[in-house]
Amino acid sequence: MYLILIFLPFISSITVGMFGKKLGTDGSSFISVFSLFFTFISSLFCFYEVGLSNSFVFIKLVKWIDSDLLQVDWGFLFDSLTVVMCCVITFISFLVHLYSTEYMSHDPHLPRFMSYLSLFTFFMLILVTADNYVQMFVGWEGVGLCSYLLINFWFTRIQANKAAIKAMIVNRIGDFGLILAILVIFINFKALDYATIFSLIPFYINEHFTLLYFEFNLLSVISFFLFVGAIGKSAQLGLHTWLPDAMEGPTPVSALIHAATMVTAGVFLIVRSSCLFEYSLHISQIVTILGASTAFFAASIGLLQNDLKRVIAYSTCSQLGYMIFACGLSNYSVGIFHLANHAFFKALLFLAAGSVIHAIIDEQDMRKMGGLKNKIPFTYSIMVIGSLALIGFPFLTGFYSKDVILELAYGKFSTSGYFSYILGTCGAFFTSFYSTRLLYLTFLSKPNAYKSVLFLTKESMIYPINIVLALLAIPSIFIGYYLKDMLIGLGSDFWGNSIYVLPENMNRIDAEFINQCIKLLPLMLTFTGFFFAFIFYTFFNFFLFNLKVSNIGKKIYNFLNKKWFFDKIYNEYLVQNVLNISYRISYKIIDRGIIEIFGPLGLTKIVSKKAVFLYKLQSGFLYHYTLIVLIASTFSLLIRQICLQYEFLIDFKISILFFLFIFYFIALKNKF
């Protein structure tokens, strides 16, 4: 059953990819959806056996690498962390497959699309079920490859090409950090499987090494490189630029990649390596600060975005920041809890946005929508549920994890904790504001679309799409309430040994006794953002306009609309300089210069030109040959005497050959 859970999406991908033309659209859709449904059912059985029964499963399939000390097996680990991730991945993937059968039905390449989705699911399952870092890296690179294929699915669009290449290149930076972490782990631990590494960590707590006269803690270096990998995959501040551009892919891709799967791989990596991060205090502080900064940064950019999918994309980036800094505060279970909750309502938002775009004839600009409340009431209701869950409205799914993260941040009673609490609370206000803005501009404002477009706009009556939205709406409302006690409740032993936290880093009880005002402040700011957005956009549009055209308003608007100038800085100061250096040095000087001169082509030209004059040395006169021998002998004796006199560290034979070479070219030049 466990192997079926992993390999069934792969079998489905191969079958649909190779025989898609023969199977047709309906056959490919049926095989893909049925396979993912059976995979989801298998993950539920695994959750019952492993998670609820607390009986971990280890599977050694075959030996993969056996080279001296490097021994890597194809093995699978099913613990509480794994089965939670498997349930989330397979459920979201199954609904996305079902949604895609109708959303992409007009596309003639639907079998290829379904094959990519199934392959992506397979690699994601490989990532979360691996029992060693090398196998996890295979899944890590696999989801990166599949994300490139899915973002670039409509490859005739230039923007899709650019977005896919950008996602691939930016993620390679994070992947390089993960590779370095794996290399350092193997060099020091002589193993790559989780069980061996985590059991040996107590012996390496005080292990240091020196590099360039600087002393580094071994576990801190490993944790830092692991975090670099997480930054790239989970789109944290600095390597976040690929995530909004990835919206160029089809909407089901956005829901699958940017909701529950690929972008959460970085969070999973940190939680899986919790034993390493627990003994790296400074790295954990960096994780906290960068995660909180990402949450604030992405939320502030989302305030002014006009593209429907980009608003939700920046929301994803912001929520990933919450998960990351929760892990930095050693509350890994809360981070995973927020990951699971976020997957449901964020997939709901993306798929509902796809339904809106589909209804309004592929329009994504919210300024060209409005008045859709009565046109598509079901989608409107779904969007309201997803948005309320996102902002952390009381008693919806997002409320039970987001508020706990902020309470635990303040309850840490440290500088990094206070910092993350302040930025996270401000991010909650911004999230509430832009979510309400999205609902207002899309559904509640006066219609801004063309009459012909509004006339054709109607609610989708396609049952698979509506069924998917309804199935996602249910956990977006209830799943947080029913799982909170089991996953993050005090005294719960659900996670077992899958998550390791030092006793001094446990602050769950401390957070219960913080000031009540501190607990209620994020909720109050959430309501404040909701009412401010609704009132301003409903009654005080002129105030927002005047603020926008004021001197300080222009600067703030430009700063936020340009995404804090990250793209501008990267393009003008980093990318362009690298390209210029590559063109001028690598291409013109090295490739077209040195290699052309001294390479095969250059040598061929030299030999072909000089060979014409070579025969002229064969004059046939004895005195010519005698003169050459005398000159050469004189030079050789002179060089030998100089070498002996000054004891140059130059081989005499090499010097003779060198001067003969020079003489040869002089002779050719003078046509001797």
* Neighbour count for residue 166 (Cβ, 10 Å): 18
Q: What is the pLDDT of residue 81?
A: 92
563 Ramachandran zone, left/alpha/beta (phi>0; psi -120 to 50): left
User: Residue 197 burial (CB < 10 Å; 0-12/13-18/19+)?
Assistant: buried
Q: What is the pLDDT of residues 198-248, one digit of tens each?
A: 999 988 888 888 877 788 889 999 999 999 999 988 888 888 888 888 888
Q: Tokens for 284?
A: 């954990």
- Which stretches of 152-217 are DSSP H helices? 158-189, 194-200
pLDDT higher than 60, residue 657 = yes
* Neighbour count for residue 590 (Cβ, 10 Å): 13
The overall average pLDDT reported for the chain is 85
Side chain identity, residue 494? F
Inter-residue contact 309 to 254 (CB < 8 Å): yes
pLDDT band at 671 (very low <50, low <70, confident <90, very high): very low
Q: In this structure, what is the dihedral angle of CA atoms 314, 524, 411, 293, given to the nearest 10 degrees?
A: 20
Q: What are phi and psi of 610, to 5 degrees?
A: -75, -25
pLDDT higher than 70, residue 659 = no
pLDDT higher than 50, residue 531 = yes
Q: State how far the Cα of 492 lies from the Cα of 508, in Å rounded to an integer.
A: 12
Question: 72 has which bridge partners?
Answer: 65
Question: 307 has which bridge partners?
Answer: 365
Inter-residue contact 80 to 498 (CB < 8 Å): yes
Q: State how far the Cα of 634 lies from the Cα of 267, in Å rounded to an integer.
A: 76
Q: What is the pLDDT of residue 672?
A: 42
Q: What is the pLDDT of residues 347-404, one digit of tens each?
A: 999 898 888 888 887 788 888 888 888 888 888 999 999 999 999 888 899 899 988 9
Provide the 8-state DSSP code for 376.
S
Inter-residue contact 81 to 271 (CB < 8 Å): yes
pLDDT band at 649 (very low <50, low <70, confident <90, very high): very low
Q: State how far the Cα of 249 lies from the Cα of 364, in Å rounded to an integer.
A: 13
Which of these, 198, 197, 497, lies nearest to 332 by C-alpha position?
497
pLDDT higher than 90, residue 254 = no
pLDDT band at 122 (very low <50, low <70, confident <90, very high): very high
Q: At what angle do helices 415-439 and 281-302 cross, to 10 degrees?
A: 20
What is the arithmetic mean of pLDDT over 597-604? 68
Which of these, 405, 356, 393, 402, lies nearest to 477 by C-alpha position?
393
**Mind giving me the DSSP string for 47-66?**
IIIIIITT--EEEEEEEEEE
pLDDT band at 320 (very low <50, low <70, confident <90, very high): very high
Q: What is the pLDDT of residues 545-569, one digit of tens each?
A: 887 888 888 888 888 888 888 888 8
Q: What is the pLDDT of residue 71?
A: 85
> CA angle at residue 282 from 280 to 285, to 5 degrees?
110
pLDDT higher than 80, residue 1 = no
Residue listed under structure tokens 């992506």: 120
Which of these, 128, 137, 216, lies nearest to 183 by C-alpha position?
137
**Mind giving me the DSSP string for 113-138?**
HHHHHHHHHHHHHHHHHBSBHHHHHH
- Pairing outcome for strands 214-217 and 208-211: antiparallel
Question: What is the pTM (predicted TM-score) of this model?
Answer: 0.85
What is the arithmetic mean of pLDDT over 479-493? 87
